[in-house]
Structure 1
Amino acid sequence: MIDHGKTKRQEVKMLNRKLLEISGVLNVESFDSEEFLLETECGFLTITGQNLHIKNLNLEQGLVAIEGMVNTMAYLDSSTQQKTSKGFLGKLFK
Structure 2
Amino acid sequence: MLEEAERERDSKQAQARREADRIQEAGFALIDKEIDDEFQGAHSQTRRLVEDRIEQGRQQVDQSRRDAQGNLTQAVDRLVEELESSIVKG
Q: TM-score, normalised by structure 1?
A: 0.20
Relative to its length, the structure with more helix (as a share) is 2
Q: Bigger radius of gyration, 1 or 2? A: 2
Q: TM-score, normalised by structure 2?
A: 0.21
- Of the two structures, which has the highest relative contact order with CA contacts closer than 8 Å and spacing of 6 or more? 1
